[in-house]
Amino acid sequence: MTTYLDYNATAPIRPPVIEAMTEAARCHGNPSSVHAMGRAARHRIEAARRAVAALVGREDVDVIFTSGGTEADALAVRGLGRETILVSAIEHDAVLAAAPSAARVPVTGDGIVDLHALQDMLEDTQSGLLCVMWANNETGAVQPVAEIARLAHAAGWLLHVDAVQGAGRLDPADLAEADSIALSAHKIGGPPGVGALLIREGLAVTPMIAGGGQERGRRSGTENDVGIAGFAVAAAAAAEERDAEAMRLRALRDRIGQGARARAPEARIMAGAAERLCNTLSLALPGVAAETQVMALDLAGVAVSAGSACSSGKVKRSHVLDAMFPDDPIAGQAIRVSLGWASTDEDADRFLHAWGAMRDRLSPAVR
Ligand code: PLP
């Protein structure tokens, strides 16, 4: 049996989501068809829009369903039509690859956007689109996006927030002033391959995919109504459980972090002094390559990540930790433990057992 501690990569699908998707799959009908079955599908999609917007506490947004967080980020970066783009240095590749020539705003050693540097860059650059994520997928560091929205708007910029990892885990009040927000269903117990871009009402978006004019012309292609039905149920569940789950998972996360540090004083928690996602722990073991740690834990039946998984399945060096620790080998020596709705105390125990054995075998501090 594998101990699954990789929720930031993808979460197991929640049972009620599977039920909702099964039910939706039984009711075929193209949401663009005018007959009753088409209208029923359209109705389900409109209800899902409200559930997804509610997850981030916004009523003043249009919800454009996409194939996931990556497409939502790309649609914001390319579709909002701003020539100048600034991104934080710790954005997900979905944003970085969509804006390859954008200047990068540095972060502190705790993985938080450097607000002084940001302010200077906003003032010294022709205004455009600023992209800052809500919470980082590797360290969990929560960015002060409410404050960043204030700075951006004062300087005439739009703010896009990649909220893929924060949604369902953080208080959505932070997002009240964001101009656009990217979400992904599979990080909150919904299906992979579904996401949404939420844009402030009245903002124009140029589509990346043209065709039949679905999503009010902003994203053509017959909607994935089965996936969208699952996304809606996952969003409602994540919103409802948010506060209780945040408490439960934070306690579990801290038990793992403190347990590791008690066993191995040389271990370090990345972004440890920052406000972090309740479910995310970036744990470095100095002197041991992250890839080696991930493989050793995998052999012991524990699934965690390091850096960002690229499609080849190899561990890619983390640009996030590199931005926090330039020229420091520690950036290549941290693994990510991430928890979620089905995580238990036993998972934490099994991780600590496997991690402790790995550390005793591999850490230079033991030899
Ligand atoms: N943004 C962040 C912060 C993520 O963690 C991810 C997924 O890893 C994405 C975007 C991409 O989302 P998706 O897998 O739905 O394309």
Q: For 191-205, 257-271, 306-320, which range has the lowest pLDDT when averaged over its residues?
A: 306-320
| Distance of alpha carbon 171 from alpha carbon 155, whole angstroms | 26
The encoded tokens of residue 89 equal 């240095």
Q: How many CA atoms lie within 13 A of 232 on its CB side?
A: 21
185 Cα: distance to centroid of ligand 1 (angstroms): 10
pLDDT (tens digit per residue) in 258-312: 999 999 999 999 999 999 999 999 999 999 999 999 999 999 999 999 976 555 6
| Distance of alpha carbon 36 from alpha carbon 107, whole angstroms | 53
Burial label for 105, CB within 10 Å (0-12, 13-18, 19+), is: buried
Mean local confidence (pLDDT), 110-137: 97
Contact between residue 288 and residue 263 where contact means Cβ atoms under 8 Å apart: no
| Distance of alpha carbon 310 from alpha carbon 217, whole angstroms | 32
Minimal-distance CA residue to ligand 1 atom 13: 69
Answer whether 0.95 is exceeded by the pTM: yes
Task: Give me the pLDDT at residue 314, please.
Answer: 66
Query: Which residues is 61 bridged to in the sheet?
Result: 200
CB < 8 Å & 24+ apart, contacts of 316-319 = 318/138, 318/290, 319/89, 319/90, 319/96
Does the beta carbon of 3 sit less than 6 angstroms from any atom of ligand 1? no
Q: How far is CA 166 from CA 24, 137, 212, in A?
A: 27, 9, 33
* Whether residue 278 lies in the annotated active site: no
Share of the chain above pLDDT 70, in %: 98
Residue 212 has pLDDT above 80, yes or no: yes
Which residues touch 206 (CB under 8 Å, ≥6 apart)? Answer: 78, 79, 81
Minimal-distance CA residue to ligand 1 atom 8: 9
Q: How far is CA 127 from CA 152, 202, 206, in A?
A: 9, 19, 19
Ligand 1 atom at minimal distance to the Cα of residue 195: 15
Q: How far is CA 307 from CA 221, 283, 290, 314, in A?
A: 33, 12, 8, 10
Mean local confidence (pLDDT), 133-154: 98
| Distance of alpha carbon 65 from alpha carbon 85, whole angstroms | 23
Mean local confidence (pLDDT), 321-345: 97
Ligand 1, from 77, 161, 184: best to mutate by most atoms within 8 Å of Cβ?
184
Residue 110 has pLDDT above 70, yes or no: yes
Task: Give me the pLDDT at residue 367, please.
Answer: 76
| Distance of alpha carbon 63 from alpha carbon 265, whole angstroms | 47
Contact between residue 31 and residue 215 where contact means Cβ atoms under 8 Å apart: no
Residue 316 has pLDDT above 80, yes or no: no
Which residues touch 321 (CB under 8 Å, ≥6 apart)? Answer: 138, 139, 270, 282, 307, 330, 331, 332, 334
Q: What is the DSSP letter of 159?
A: E
208 Cα: distance to centroid of ligand 1 (angstroms): 18
**Catalytic member of 27, 131, 278, 310:** 310
182 Cα: distance to centroid of ligand 1 (angstroms): 9
Taken in order 19, 52, 185, 238, is the CA torsion positive or negative?
negative
pLDDT-based confidence at residue 317 (cuts at 50, 70, 90): confident
The encoded tokens of residue 290 equal 């992250």
Q: Which residues of 31-54 are buried (b: 16+ CB within 10 A; e: fewer)?
A: beeeeeeeeebbebbeebbebbbe
* Nearest residue to 57 via CA among 212, 147, 176, 141: 176
Does the beta carbon of 279 sit less than 6 angstroms from any atom of ligand 1? no
Does the beta carbon of 45 sit less than 6 angstroms from any atom of ligand 1? no
Task: Give me the pLDDT at residue 102, please.
Answer: 98
Query: Which residues is 302 bridged to in the sheet?
Result: 3
Mean local confidence (pLDDT), 336-357: 98
Residue 183 has pLDDT above 70, yes or no: yes
Q: What is the DSSP letter of 329?
A: G
| Distance of alpha carbon 77 from alpha carbon 59, whole angstroms | 22
Query: Which residues is 316 bridged to in the sheet?
Result: 308
pLDDT (tens digit per residue) in 49-94: 999 999 999 999 999 999 999 999 999 999 999 999 999 999 999 9
Share of the chain above pLDDT 90, in %: 96
Mean local confidence (pLDDT), 24-39: 95
266 Cα: distance to centroid of ligand 1 (angstroms): 31
Ligand 1 atom at minimal distance to the Cα of residue 71: 16
Does the beta carbon of 69 sit less than 6 angstroms from any atom of ligand 1? yes
Q: Does residue 252 come out as left (phi exceeding 0), alpha (psi in the -120 to 50 range) or beta?
A: alpha
Parallel, antiparallel, or unpaired: how do β-strands 302-303 and 308-309 relate? unpaired
314 Cα: distance to centroid of ligand 1 (angstroms): 17
Does the beta carbon of 195 sit less than 6 angstroms from any atom of ligand 1? yes
